């Protein structure tokens, strides 16, 4: 039962993040009428930073857990 609870919690967190990103896109589009591609750029940059900080290599990366 604890595995089910942890999966439900992880799904709720992921769904919450998707909802926050979607509401930011909708708010920007509704107020200005222009689709802002900056949201995608920020998401890509943060995902790349996460990847680089968690990959231990000989030329970079901190190997964070």
Residues sharing a CB contact under 8 Å with residue 61, sequence separation 6 or more, in sequence order:
52, 53, 54, 55
Full residue range of the structural domain in which residue 6 is found = 1-34
| Residue whose tokens read 């996460």 | 50
pLDDT of residue 59: 64
Per-residue pLDDT of the chain (65 residues; tens, 9 = 90+): 799 999 999 999 999 999 998 999 999 999 999 888 888 899 899 999 988 888 776 766 666 66
Q: Are residues 27 and 39 in the same domain?
A: no
- Dihedral sign computed on CA atoms, order 35, 41, 46, 50: positive
Q: Are residues 48 and 62 in the same domain?
A: yes
pLDDT of residue 35: 86
Q: Are residues 29 and 42 in the same domain?
A: no
pLDDT of residue 55: 78
| Residue whose tokens read 């107020």 | 31
**Listed residue (25, 55, 50, 29) closest to 40, CA to CA:** 25
How many domains does the chain divide into? 2
């Amino acid at each position: 039962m604890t595995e089910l609870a942890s999966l439900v919690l992880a799904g709720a967190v992921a769904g919450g993040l998707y909802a926050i990103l979607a509401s930011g896109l909708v708010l920007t589009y509704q107020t200005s009428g222009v689709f802002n591609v900056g949201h995608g750029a920020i998401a890509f940059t943060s995902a790349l930073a996460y990847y680089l900080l968690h990959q231990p290599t000989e030329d970079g990366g901190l190997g964070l857990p």
